[in-house]
Structure 1
Amino acid sequence: MKIMTILGTRPEIIRLSLVIKLLDQHADHILVHTGQNYDDRLNGLFFRELEIRKPDVFLGVRGDGFAHQVGEILSKSHPLLLQHRPDRLLILGDTNSGLTALVARRLGIPVYHMEAGNRCYDDRVPEEINRRVIDHSSSVLMPYTNRSRENLIKEGFENGRVFVVGNPIGEVLAHYAGRIAASTALADHGVQSRKFFLVTLHRAENVDVADRLPILMEGLILLQRQYGFPVICSLHPHTKAKLKAFQINPSQAGLHFVEPLGFFDFVKLEQSAFCLLSDSGTVQEEACIAGVPSVTLRDVTERPETIECGSNVLAGCDPASILKLVDLVTRENGLWQPPMEYLAKHVAATVCRILLGFHIPDLAEKVWLARSHQIPLKQSDSLDVVSKSK
């Protein structure tokens, strides 16, 4: 069986790391990188650290802005899918790279979506629209949690197409635990365990808004002054550019801006921090598993499980709220239990078994298979789809 996996960003590389290795063993596996994250610190570094082979295809997307980037992803993935003719397409998450699901489904290729069903119900968040588009273009949906599964069922997805597989990050963290423990990140950054804050900011609703990013910086400065702990900010290239564009001085007292970190160093800092402050969805999950309190610098989250279990709170961007909620979550440090789906074992194996052993054939797929293998279709099979495609 021929399976194509398309990815393009750091979180996808990390969470698919074990799945990729299993698919390489058990399928004719084609790995494609769109180039959405083209900086080596967000791309090549993670392939090397996690010992993932190089992609078979690199699309080289360099779109400037949403429309250009998505246009390139769609236009470049179409001939690729026609050339390789995979039996399945695997996608993880809600990035622009995942919108290749649209092309695949138009061609009749079954799409299998990991991280399906995440919802924050706020269309100001670009990824929220991507989530719905990808889910509704997918043949088989693989949510991480039962809550995400419920979201899909409410939207009308059939039970038989939805499989809760668990969150892959717990398994990834366990697999690389030795490498994480060996990281010298604390010494490299001159900090002591539980005596620093770790911050990441990259979401458009935070960093692209001229009157929001400065307020967030003000909150971080106040945090440093109140606790006296260093504040390490892992600086995404886009955030770095916006700080410069908005004329925000990144060398403010107590704020230590660092270039994007490798997986092992970042997780080492993550697991050792006094508190995490981030607008990342994946950091919420990792902090929850690590027993480190987190404050999400957003108004909404698509990971409500972290709120329910008590590991995470939403602070928005108001400095007073940030200070108050950091005080709240750090007083009850580690008293929560992560959702059971975050600690699931054999997630990669489960995903591979579903990919290789389960599908729901539809008429579009029959047409695709016939064209791929030059199998004549019955008149009843081909009429509607072929006539509509003309």
Structure 2
Amino acid sequence: MKVLTILGTRPEIIRLSRIIPLLDDSLTHVLAHTGQNFDERLSAVFFDELGVREPDAFMGVRANSAAAQIGQILEQTEALLLEHRPDRLLILGDTNSGMSAIVARRLGIPVYHMEAGNRCYDDRVPEEVNRRVIDHCSSVLMPYTERSRNNLLREGIEGDRIYVTGNPIKQVIDANEAGISASPALASLAVREREYFLVTLHRAENVDVESRLRSFVDALRRLHATYGYPVICSLHPRTRSQVEAFGVDVKGDGLRFLQPFGFFDFIRLERDAFCILSDSGTVQEEACLFGVPNVTLRDVTERPETLECGSNFLSGAAAEEITNAVVFVTRHNAGWTPPREYLADHVAETVCRIVAGYRIPDAAELNWRRRHAPSG
């Protein structure tokens, strides 16, 4: 059996890092990188630190617009699938890399989708459109949580194609504990545990709107003035470009806008922060595991389980609301229990068994199942 895995962003590399070696050991496995984020800080360092081998293929996606990027991904995916003729395509998440599912579906190649079923129910979020398209092009769907499974069922996807695997991030963190603990990030930045804010900001709906971007920076200045703690901001290239384009002043007042961190350094900074502010889905999960208060700089989230357990707070973009959210989550940080799916072990092994062992029913068998399904 041959499996082709396509990835293209840091979250995908991280979450697939324990799965890729297992697929290499047990199947004929081809690993492809779209190239959309492949540079030293955004991808290469993560392959190195997480011990993931180099991809077999680079798709060379280098587009400036979302439409052009998706177009290149579709075109390059078709070439890869026709060259390698895999029995399965494995993808993860909701980025443009996952839109490769469209081509696989057209070619009759089964698509296995990790992180299926996440929904924020706001189509202004580009990833929300991707999620729906990818899920409905997929043959086998592997959501992390029962909530996500129920989202898929409500959209008419058959339950026998859905397998809840649990979230892979804990297994990745546990496997890399030594490197994380040895990180010199705090010493290098001259900060102390629980005495700094950690910030990430990259989503188009935030950084491409000047008023929102300025409001976020205003909120960070207010937080430094209130608490006296430095604000460490891991600056995504997209955000840096927009800061420069809009002429936003990010200097002084305790603000430290820095190049993106490697995996070990960033996880160490997350684990020891006083509070995290981010628009990242990944960070919502990690902060929940670490017991660190997190303010999500968005109006919606596709991970509502983090709100329910108490680890996360949606602030929106208004500076005053952001500062109020920080006050609330840091004062009422009595501890919480992460969702059980976030504490799952052996997720990588579970995914590999599903990819290798689940037989896709043919059309005749599916029709028979539908005719004989219990009524009601």
TM-score, length-scaled by structure 1: 0.92
Question: What is the alpha-carbon distance in structure 1 between the residues aligned to residue 45 and residue 345 of structure 2?
Answer: 26
Amino acid of the structure 2 residue aligned with 1:167: N
In structure 2, the partner of 1:386 is: none
How far off its partner does 1:334 sit?
5.0
Secondary structure of the corresponding residue to residue 198 of structure 1 = strand
How far off its partner does 1:113 sit?
0.2
Identify unmatched segments of 5+ residues in structure 2. Answer: 365-376
Question: What is the alpha-carbon distance in structure 2 between the residues aligned to residue 26 and residue 95 of structure 1?
Answer: 27
Secondary structure of the corresponding residue to residue 213 of structure 1 = helix
Question: What is the alpha-carbon distance in structure 1 between the residues aligned to residue 165 and residue 6 of structure 2?
Answer: 19
1:261-289 deviation digits (Å, cap 9, x = unpaired): 00000000000000000000000000000
1:4-34 deviation digits (Å, cap 9, x = unpaired): 0000000000000000011010000000000
Secondary structure of the corresponding residue to residue 30 of structure 1 = strand
In structure 1, the partner of 2:204 is: 204
Amino acid of the structure 2 residue aligned with 1:14: I
Secondary structure of the corresponding residue to residue 63 of structure 1 = coil
Question: What is the alpha-carbon distance in structure 2 between the residues aligned to residue 103 and residue 333 of structure 1?
Answer: 46
In structure 2, the partner of 1:131 is: 131
1:145 aligns with 2:145: yes
1:169 aligns with 2:169: yes
1:195 aligns with 2:186: no
Question: What is the alpha-carbon distance in structure 1 between the residues aligned to residue 165 and residue 251 of structure 2?
Answer: 43
Quick check: 1:135–1:141 contact (8 Å CA) kept in 2?
yes
How far off its partner does 1:292 sit?
0.3
How far off its partner does 1:359 sit?
2.5
In structure 1, the partner of 2:95 is: 95
- 1:153-302 aligned within 5 A: 153-302=153-302
Q: Give the percent of matched residue pairs that are identical in Structure 1 and Structure 2.
A: 64
Question: What is the alpha-carbon distance in structure 2 between the residues aligned to residue 285 and residue 240 of structure 1?
Answer: 25
In structure 2, the partner of 1:54 is: 54
Secondary structure of the corresponding residue to residue 118 of structure 2 = coil
How far off its partner does 1:325 sit?
1.1
Amino acid of the structure 2 residue aligned with 1:190: A
Quick check: 1:291–1:334 contact (8 Å CA) kept in 2?
no
Secondary structure of the corresponding residue to residue 212 of structure 1 = helix
Deviant stretches of 4+, over 6 Å: none
How far off its partner does 1:80 sit?
1.0
Amino acid of the structure 2 residue aligned with 1:140: V
Amino acid of the structure 2 residue aligned with 1:226: T
Amino acid of the structure 2 residue aligned with 1:147: R
Quick check: 1:21–1:52 contact (8 Å CA) kept in 2?
yes
In structure 2, the partner of 1:110 is: 110
Quick check: 1:277–1:296 contact (8 Å CA) kept in 2?
yes
Question: What is the alpha-carbon distance in structure 1 between the residues aligned to residue 39 and residue 54 of structure 2?
Answer: 15
Question: What is the alpha-carbon distance in structure 2 between the residues aligned to residue 363 and residue 335 of structure 1?
Answer: 50
Given the superposition, is the C-alpha separation of residues 334 and 50 from structure 1 closer, same or farther in structure 2, using an over 3 Å criterion? farther
Question: What is the alpha-carbon distance in structure 2 between the residues aligned to residue 273 and residue 64 of structure 1?
Answer: 34
In structure 1, the partner of 2:343 is: 343
Question: What is the alpha-carbon distance in structure 2 between the residues aligned to residue 98 and residue 341 of structure 1?
Answer: 23
Amino acid of the structure 1 residue aligned with 2:169: I
Identify unmatched segments of 5+ residues in structure 1. Answer: 365-390
In structure 2, the partner of 1:86 is: 86
Quick check: 1:311–1:334 contact (8 Å CA) kept in 2?
no
How far off its partner does 1:64 sit?
1.3
Alignment length, in residue pairs? 364
Quick check: 1:99–1:133 contact (8 Å CA) kept in 2?
yes
Question: What is the alpha-carbon distance in structure 2 between the residues aligned to residue 201 and residue 270 of structure 1?
Answer: 14
RMSD (Å), alpha carbons:
1.0
How far off its partner does 1:39 sit?
2.4
Quick check: 1:293–1:333 contact (8 Å CA) kept in 2?
yes
Secondary structure of the corresponding residue to residue 43 of structure 1 = helix
In structure 2, the partner of 1:20 is: 20
Q: Which deviates further from its counterpart, 249-258 or 61-70?
A: 249-258
1:41-69 deviation digits (Å, cap 9, x = unpaired): 01111111111110000011001101111
Q: Which deviates further from its counterpart, 184-193 or 250-259?
A: 250-259
Question: What is the alpha-carbon distance in structure 1 between the residues aligned to residue 136 and residue 56 of structure 2?
Answer: 27
Question: What is the alpha-carbon distance in structure 1 between the residues aligned to residue 334 and residue 228 of structure 2?
Answer: 22
Given the superposition, is the C-alpha separation of residues 44 and 121 from structure 1 closer, same or farther in structure 2, using an over 3 Å criterion? same
Amino acid of the structure 2 residue aligned with 1:204: A
Question: What is the alpha-carbon distance in structure 2 between the residues aligned to residue 310 and residue 100 of structure 1?
Answer: 35
1:222-271 deviation digits (Å, cap 9, x = unpaired): 01100100000000001000000000122131100110000000000000
TM-score, length-scaled by structure 2: 0.96
Amino acid of the structure 1 residue aligned with 2:186: L
